Chain A
Amino acid sequence: MGAYYESNDLRKFGKIADYDKELADKFFEWYGAVFEEGALSAREKALIALAVSHAVQCPYCIDAYTEESLKFGIDKEQMMEAVHVASAIRGGASLVHGIQMMNKVNKQEM
Chain B
Amino acid sequence: MALIKSLHARASELANSKAQVDFLSSGMFEKGGAQTFKEILDEHDQFPLKPGKLKIFQVNLGYMCNQTCKHCHVDAGPDRKEIMVKETMLQCIEVLKSNEIETLDLTGGAPEMNPNFKWFVETASQYVKEIIVRSNLTIIESNDTYRQLPEFFAKHKVRLISSLPFYNADKTDRQRGKGVFEKSIKALIKLNAVGYGKPETGLIIDLVYNPTGAFLPASQHSLRKEFKQVLKEEFDICFNQLFCITNLPISRFLDYLIETENYEDYMYKLIEAFNPMALEGVMCKNTISIDWTGQLFDCDFNQMLNITLDYNAPQSIGDFNIHKLNNRIIAVNQHCFGCTAGAGSSCQGSLL
Is chain B found bound to chain A in the same assembly? yes
Interface residues of chain A, those whose CB is within 8 Å of chain B, are: 11, 37, 41-43, 67-68, 70-73, 75
Can you name 14 A-B residue pairings with CB atoms under 8 Å?
A37-B221, A37-B222, A41-B222, A42-B218, A42-B222, A43-B226, A70-B211, A70-B212, A70-B213, A70-B215, A73-B171, A73-B226, A75-B170, A75-B171
Given contacts A11-B268, A70-B212, 10 further A-B contacts (CB under 8 A): A37-B222, A41-B222, A43-B222, A67-B215, A70-B211, A71-B217, A71-B218, A72-B223, A73-B168, A73-B218
**A residues less than 8 Å from B217 (CB atoms):** 71
Chain A hits for B226, CB < 8 A: 43, 72-73
- Chain B residues 48-100 with CB under 8 Å of chain A are none
> Closest approach, in angstroms, between the C-beta of A50 and any C-beta of chain B?
14
Give the distance in Å from the alpha carbon of A68 to the alpha carbon of B219 in the complex: 11
User: Is B216 interfacial (CB 8 A cutoff)?
Assistant: yes
Which of A37, A68, A73 gathers the greatest number of chain B CB atoms within 10 Å?
A: A73
The yes or no answer to B272 lying at the interface (CB within 8 A) is: yes
| Contact residues on B (Cβ < 8 Å of other chain), bracket | 20 to 34
In the complex where A11-B268, A11-B272 touch, is A72 in contact with B222 (Cβ < 8 A)? yes
Cα distance A75–B217 in the bound complex, in angstroms: 15
Residues of A within 8 A of B222 (CB): 37, 41-43, 72
Chain B positions within 8 Å of A, measured between CB atoms, are: 166-168, 170-171, 211-213, 215-219, 221-223, 225-226, 268, 272
Contacts of A68 in B (CB 8 A): 218
How far apart are the CA atoms of A80 and B168 in the complex, in Å?
18
Give the shortest distance, in Å, between A6 (CB) and chain B (any CB).
13
Interchain nearest-CB distance for B216 vs A (Å): 7
Report Cα–Cα, A68/B225, bound state, in Å: 17
Inter-chain contacts of B166 with A (CB < 8 A) = 73
Shortest C-beta distance, A59 to chain B (Å), equals 15
Question: Which residue from chain A places its CB closest to the CB of B166 in the assembled complex?
Answer: A73
Q: In the bound complex, how far is the Cα of B226 from the Cα of A43, in angstroms?
A: 10
A1 vs chain B, min Cβ distance (A):
24
CA distance A73 to B166 in the complex (A): 7
Complex-state Cα separation, A42 to B224, whole angstroms? 12
Chain B minimum-CB-distance residue to A11: B268
4 tightest CB-CB pairs across the interface, nearest first? Answer: A71-B218, A72-B218, A42-B222, A67-B215
> Is the CB–CB distance between A71 and B211 below 8 Å?
yes
How far is B166's CA from A75's CA once the two chains are assembled, in angstroms?
Answer: 11
* Minimum Cβ distance to chain A for residue B147 (Å): 31
Residues of B within 8 A of A72 (CB): 218, 222-223, 226
Query: How many angstroms from the CA of A42 to the CA of B166 in the assembled complex?
Result: 17
Whether A71 and B215, one on each chain, are in contact in the complex, defined by CB atoms closer than 8 angstroms, is: yes
Contact in complex: B170, A43 (CB < 8 Å): no
Is A43 a contact of B218 with CB atoms below 8 Å?
yes
Contacts of B225 in A (CB 8 A): 41
Write the nearest CB–CB distance from B218 to chain A, whole angstroms.
4
In the assembled complex, the Cα of A75 lies from the Cα of B170 at a distance in Å of 9
Q: Which residues of A contact B221 (CB under 8 A)?
A: 37
Q: How far is the CB of B270 from chain A (nearest CB, A)?
A: 12
CB neighbours of A71 from chain B (8 A): 211, 215-218
> Which residues of the other chain, A, contact B168 by a CB distance below 8 angstroms?
73, 75
- CA distance in complex: A42, B212 (Å): 19
Shortest CB–CB separation between residue A95 and chain B, in angstroms? 36
Asked if residues B219 and A42 are in contact (CB atoms below 8 Å), the reply is yes
Q: Shortest Cβ distance from A102 into chain B, in angstroms? A: 47
Q: How far is the CB of A14 from chain B (nearest CB, A)?
A: 9
**Chain A residues near B268 (CB, 8 Å)?**
11
Q: State the CA gap A42–B217 with chains docked (Å).
A: 13
Closest CB in chain B relative to A67 CB, distance in Å:
5
**Considering the chains assembled together, what is the distance between the CA atoms of A71 and B211 in angstroms?**
7
Contacts of A75 in B (CB 8 A): 168, 170-171
A33 to chain B, nearest CB (A): 15
